[in-house]
Amino acid sequence: MKLGANSVLFGGYDMETAFKYIAMAGYDGIEISAIPRMSEHLVLERWQEIVPDIKRLSGEYGLELLAMEQPSQDPERMELAMQAAVEAGIPIINCGPGGKTDEEGSLQQSIDSLGNLATMAEKYGVILCVKAHVGAAIYNTPTTLQLMEAISSPNFGIDMDPSHIHRANENPVEAVAAVLSRVKHLHIRDCLGRQHGPGKPEDQANGRGDIDLVGFFRVLHEHGYEGPVDLEVIGAKEYTIAQCAVIAAEARGHMQASLQACGAR
């Protein structure tokens, strides 16, 4: 498994700051944030001028470009993201599921939209991944399985995020095995309680919450998962660099220990 962190943790700072401290914390790679309002890292309207900097920073800091997060299903915006990914050498784009939980027709609408984007991903030779998300049409394991059954494209995969499955009142350690056959990316963070949001940024660091992330990594290893695992901490845009760096380092230490405990490192 390759351990990375989403640059959105450093969303209040420039992209080099994210690269610098994610590398300093010992991560193998980075997930580039293309999330408007949460960061100004990969601004898709200016991707041609930003991608050379991403490639340079990847080389300078020794961080593999593991993925990009671009939440919108808007086809024009997604096409910009895929063009940027191809130029930068980013293999995976993580996207939101869209829709609303238990709203009539919403799940099918999300499946249709994602199916069209998966076809676009085939054209560009990238992988489109989608995760179950609290409040969205795809929000738990059963709806994820419906999505997996509906979209067979080899360029489509599941982005498993234990914090959202936990907040869907499931046990991620038990739930992950059901979807692992199609999992091509993992977002990871901890979570206190089962409320709508993930909580304060510091409480999203692995080991601070209620999720058995040690057990989660053990199941991943037992099933042979070797893909990227990216820390995704949101809400830290107003935090100091020191606060963000501590969260990154604490989470990475817990991940490393989890992998060592199950013999994966």
Q: pLDDT tens digits for 9-23?
A: 999 999 999 999 999
Residue 172 has pLDDT above 90, yes or no: yes
Q: Positive or negative CA dihedral for 167, 178, 5, 218?
A: positive
Residue 193 has pLDDT above 90, yes or no: no
Give the Cα separation of 1 and 183 in Å (integer). 13
Task: Provide the terminal-to-terminal Cα distance of the chain, rounded to the nearest Å.
Answer: 9
Task: Give CA angle at 124 (123, 126), nearest 5°.
Answer: 115
Token pair 């907040």: residue: 167
Domains and CATH numbers, the chain: 2-261 (3.20.20.150)
Helix H or strand E encompassing 253:
helix 241-261
3-state secondary structure of 230: strand
**pLDDT average, residue stretch 99-119:** 94
Residue 104 has pLDDT above 90, yes or no: no
In angstroms, the Cα distances linking 182 to 47, 98, 145, 194, 234 are 29, 19, 10, 26, 25
Residue 31 has pLDDT above 90, yes or no: yes
The pLDDT confidence band at residue 265, using thresholds 50, 70 and 90, is: very high
What is the average pLDDT value for the chain, to the nearest integer?
Answer: 96
Asked if 221 and 263 count as a contact pair (C-beta separation under 8 A), the reply is yes
Give the chain's radius of gyration (CA, Å): 17
Asked if 188 and 206 count as a contact pair (C-beta separation under 8 A), the reply is yes
Say what the pTM is. Answer: 0.96
**pLDDT average, residue stretch 56-80:** 98
**pLDDT average, residue stretch 59-77:** 98
Residue 48: name the closest of 78, 81, 92 by CA: 81
Give the Cα separation of 21 and 39 in Å (integer). 16
Residue 196 has pLDDT above 80, yes or no: no
Residue 215: which residues within 8 A CB-CB, separation 6 or more? 173
The pLDDT confidence band at residue 220, using thresholds 50, 70 and 90, is: very high
The pLDDT confidence band at residue 47, using thresholds 50, 70 and 90, is: very high
Residue 196: which residues within 8 A CB-CB, separation 6 or more? 134, 135, 167
Residue 102 has pLDDT above 90, yes or no: no
The pLDDT confidence band at residue 204, using thresholds 50, 70 and 90, is: very high
Kindly report which listed range (107-111, 168-172, 243-247) carries the lowest average pLDDT score. 168-172
Predicted pLDDT at 195? 72
Residue 205 has pLDDT above 80, yes or no: yes
Asked if 30 and 10 count as a contact pair (C-beta separation under 8 A), the reply is no
Q: Give the pair of three-digit tokens for residue 84.
A: 């940027």
